[in-house]
Amino acid sequence: MLPLPHHYVVTAIPVVGEIHLISEGLSPLSTEAPVEFDGPGGLWSPETMLVGAAADCFAITFRGVARASHLEWLDMRCAATGTLDRVDGVMRFTTIELHVHLTLAEGIDHGLAHRVLDKAKRSCLITNSMNAEVRLEATIAS
């Protein structure tokens, strides 16, 4: 890892019908308001990207923690659900629920898997940066 602080630069360019997000070295991303905010749908929105960032960061963090903990796993899926609500007159995400399904090979310690999942939740920098409550629900199968 490079020394902190890290800086990430993204530019948003509004064009007719969508917003283009650009960042050096990355493919452009087209976004738009979601259907819930009278947008057209069919494109990523700030809301879906925020929830996606939570799921993505959890998955990347899990992979690193699992590697460091020598946890051998076969498959992991993290479905995230974000709840947007009005609190004290302000709209914000109130909860992010991470629904994880983890498949292990036969004979792998489920206790270790639970510890790795818990550490990944505690270490995820995206969810640590939110003021929404983050809940983890994990299913571990062999």
Q: Is the pTM of this model over 0.85?
A: yes
Give the count of alpha carbons within 13 A of 7, CB side only: 2
Q: How far apart are CA 62 and CA 65, in angstroms?
A: 5
Q: Give the pLDDT score at 135.
A: 95
Listed in sequence order, the DSSP H helices in 27-90 are 46-68
50 and 109: one domain?
yes
- How many domains, the chain? 2
Q: How far apart are CA 11 and CA 59, in angstroms?
A: 26
**128 in helix, strand or coil?**
helix
Residues of the chain with pLDDT under 70: none
Q: How far apart are CA 73 and CA 103, in angstroms?
A: 6
35 and 105: one domain?
no
Sheet holding 11-15, edge to edge: 11-15, 18-22, 29-31
Q: How far apart are CA 94 and CA 91, in angstroms?
A: 9
15 and 51: one domain?
no
Q: Give the pLDDT score at 20.
A: 97
Q: Is the distance from CB of 31 to CB of 45 less than 8 angstroms?
A: yes
Domain containing 19 equals 1-39
Report pLDDT digits (tens) over 7-34.
Answer: 999 999 999 999 999 999 999 999 999 9
Q: Give the pLDDT score at 95.
A: 97
CATH of the domain at 71: 3.30.300.20
Q: Is the previous residue joined to 3 through a cis bond, with omega within 30 degrees of 0?
A: no
Query: At 103, which amino acid appears?
Result: T
80 and 32: one domain?
no
